[in-house]
Amino acid sequence: MKILSIENLDINKILHYFEKDVVVIPTETVYGLAAAINNENALKNIYKLKRRPSDNPLIVHVSSIEMLKTVIEGEIPKVYEKIIENFWPGPISLLFKANKNVSRTVTAGLDTILVRMPDNKIILEIIEKLNIPLAAPSANLSGKPSPSCVHHTIDDFGEECPLYLDGGECRVGLESTVFTYLNSPAILRPGGICIEVLEKLIGEKININYSVKKIENQQICPGQKYKHYSPNNKFVLIISDSVNIEELVKEYKKVGILTHYDFKPKMKREQDCEIIYLGNKPYEVAMNLFKGLRKLDETCDIIITKGVSIEMEGEAIMDRVKKAAHMII
């Protein structure tokens, strides 16, 4: 196992890792477990290391529009061209019809493919030098909180991964938005680009479809079908204003509380509480959510937080905490 900072990285010296196996890479969203899409053994190792179900497709990362065209069928829709012009490189993945030459391990046997261009100069240079896209789901054990720093990925995979590239903390902290226009405009997973921003850009109402519902036959994106983002210890999401928090946590020895701009409870048993403040604004809460969950999961028997309003980044935050929660009250 080797850990290398991307600062002053000699890219040519690490390219051979991508030709053999998986590599943990930083992006602006979360850390990814990457493999070249023409390396079938490495692709299968992504599923093995993550303990990921084989019907959960992988998002493909490209470094150019020319590379994008090698993995899709047909022309790029006009709406996608507008999104690409405004938000690539960036935290949004687009759903295309897949080129028939793309490995079915990448697409999970579907006829569609999710593609994005990550906003990380070093990773884009690596992809460009490899001259092959990278498949890169989040670098965490399936079902657990996503990794926003390299230490989270080491905690999950340890010696199982041969190379970790350390790019510091991710500035978005949540996975990419997943958008489709293959049938009608819809967000399949909220993320780094908000629905309000997209609607203003394309001039159309966008549907929200986060459940396991087929659009145009078989099209499912990561995050829809299985339990995601959950810590090991009990995580409770409060959405009611009438919850007695002291009563809720009285049976637990160590209580973790994720507070934010709209949730600052006063606890009588402060000595038994570990409190992490996620931020004053929705984008700060999004950036710090997974980091806070992982930190409290190390020491606390129960973790609680309260929901936020769904404007802007709030939609993505609520998607994650609802899926992560063992209980919603």
How far is 202 from 207, CA to CA, in rounded Å? 13
Tokens of 98: 């897949």
Q: Are strands 134-135 and 32-36 parallel, antiparallel or unpaired?
A: antiparallel
User: Buried (b) or exposed (e) across 261-278, using 16+ Cβ within 10 A?
Assistant: eebeeeeeeeeebeebbb
Residue 259 annotated in ligand binding: no
d(CA 288, CA 295): 11
Q: Is 138 annotated as a binding residue?
A: yes
Q: Is 261 part of any known ligand binding site?
A: no
Q: Are 48 and 221 in contact (CB under 8 A)?
A: no
Is residue 305 annotated as involved in ligand binding?
Answer: no
Q: What's the one-letter identity of residue 215?
A: I
By C-alpha distance, which of 112, 115, 127, 126 is closest to 88? 115
**Tokens standing for residue 205:** 């109402």
Residue 32 to residues 108, 206, 238: CA-CA distances in angstroms?
A: 18, 28, 30
* Measured distance CA(45)–CA(47) in Å, rounded: 5
Residue 299 annotated as binding? no
Helices (H), 13-74: 15-20, 40-50, 65-69
Residue 52 annotated as binding site: yes
135 is in an annotated binding site: no
Instruction: Consult the annotation and say whether 189 binds a ligand.
Output: yes
116 is in an annotated binding site: yes
Judge contact between 73 and 100, C-beta under 8 A: yes
- Phi, psi angles (nearest 5°) of residue 179: -125, 140
**Beta-carbon-side half-sphere exposure of residue 241 (alpha carbons within 13 Å):** 2
112 assigned binding-site residue: yes
Residue 70 annotated as lining a ligand binding site: no
**For tokens 């009990």, what's the residue?**
234
Q: Which residues are annotated as a binding site?
A: 29, 52, 56, 61, 112, 116, 136, 138, 146, 176, 189, 229
Q: Which residues are annotated as a binding site for L-threonine?
A: 29, 61, 116, 136, 176
Q: Which residues are annotated as a binding site for ATP?
A: 52, 56, 112, 138, 146, 189, 229
